[in-house]
Amino acid sequence: MEAAGPGLLFTLAAFIGGFSILVFIHELGHYSVARFFKIRVDTFSIGMGKEIFGWTAKSGTRWRVSAIPLGGYVKFFGDASAASNPGEIPEGLSEQEKAECFHFKPLWQRSLVVFAGPAVNLIAASLVFAGFYFSYGLSVSEPIVESISEQSAADMAGLNIGDRIISVNGTSIDRFTDIGAVVRLYPGKEVDVELVRAGEALMIPVRLGTKYMEDRFGNQYPYGFLGIGSPPTKKESLGVFGALSEGTRQTVQMGKTMFTTLGQMILGIRSVKELGGPVRIANMVGEAAHVSFQSFLWMLALLSLNLGIVNLLPIPVLDGGHLVFYALEGIKGSPLSVKAKEAGFVAGAALMIIFMVFVTLNDLQSMAL
């Protein structure tokens, strides 16, 4: 008998609560660095749209919770909108007002304020991963072929038991789990496996097999399969610094995986139907929370990593788009015109709306199948 899944209300509560935490962390990054540089912050909002409740701090910042629980923003003094795009800066500002205005700050300060949001999300993910490694330790095994499945990709390519794999498709391999992290990205593709056999270095091309992972709605997602088994794992206890190092390593590895997958979708190698929107993400968060608090926390770390990376994409209205404008300003020696920035923000907003509609339709279609 199949165990009952989380109900709709539980899923919504877990998703809204978890996502709001990630948004708060992200915006707190912007806010904290802005305040460090003595920039006036007019509004700190969790959610979008009409304010439900809030309060005004002594600093003048309006802290608020808004009606639409998707996203949030920090609005600086001088911003034309919540997206931090500047309008025409009013004339006649006092020196004190200019000193507190975001858009009068040096380019490097503005860049750090913008970069701080995604950076804090990446740091938060690393810290959660580190907490798991510190609490539960790390299971590791050497990247040595212990067994080979018959008629698998490894068998057909001529890999032998005892081979030590040192790289796959140019990615260095330090432990057995690194092999799977790379192999999964290339279902049905040929990859170069560099290994050491009896003291001799060899490079063997391997046509990977394809397996499919299925979600609760019956959607299948392909992943690469090599067909080798690992040596026995060893459990290692990690101290604080070891756990932090491993948490950072996990974040970097997952970040690389995200960029590789995104690139494959852009090139048409991987189907864009694999992209998940708010409906699919909400279901994943709800299921994780239903399993255990630890699963929920791990899922939030993954989402924090995703939020940090997505916000660094060079799309206006996202932090990465702002950083592109600042890079152009640095090259040009002066800010881009307000009209050019406004055009960029309109185009970026349109692109994000189209993307959100697309992934939501993706979600609804996948649930209906």
DSSP symbols for 148-180: E-TTSHHHHHT--TTPEEEEETTEE--SHHHHH
Q: How would you label 32-49 residue by residue, b for 16+ Cβ within 10 Å and e otherwise?
A: ebbeeeebbbebbbbbee
Q: Identify the bridge partners of residue 229 per DSSP, sorted by sequence position.
A: 147
- Cα–Cα distance between 288 and 297 in angstroms, integer? 8
- Phi, psi (degrees; rounded to nearest 5) at 219: -75, 135
Q: Are 10 and 286 in contact (CB under 8 A)?
A: yes
- Cα–Cα distance between 326 and 343 in angstroms, integer? 16
- Cα–Cα distance between 83 and 45 in angstroms, integer? 12
Task: Dig out the tokens for 298 from the structure.
Answer: 């791990």
Whose CA is closest to 362, among 271, 276, 268, 284?
Answer: 276
| Region of residue 311 (phi > 0: left; psi between -120 and 50: alpha; otherwise: beta) | alpha
From 27, 100, 246, 287, the catalytic residue: 27
Q: Are 164 and 142 in contact (CB under 8 A)?
A: yes
Q: Are 192 and 169 in contact (CB under 8 A)?
A: yes
- Phi, psi (degrees; rounded to nearest 5) at 165: -85, 125
Task: Dig out the tokens for 170 from the structure.
Answer: 């140019």
DSSP symbols for 72-129: EEEEETTBSSTT--B-PPPTT--HHHHHH-GGGS-HHHHHHHHHHHHHHHHHHHHHHH
- Cα–Cα distance between 155 and 231 in angstroms, integer? 17
| Residue 27 annotated as catalytic | yes
Q: Are 29 and 124 in contact (CB under 8 A)?
A: no
The set of catalytic residues is 27
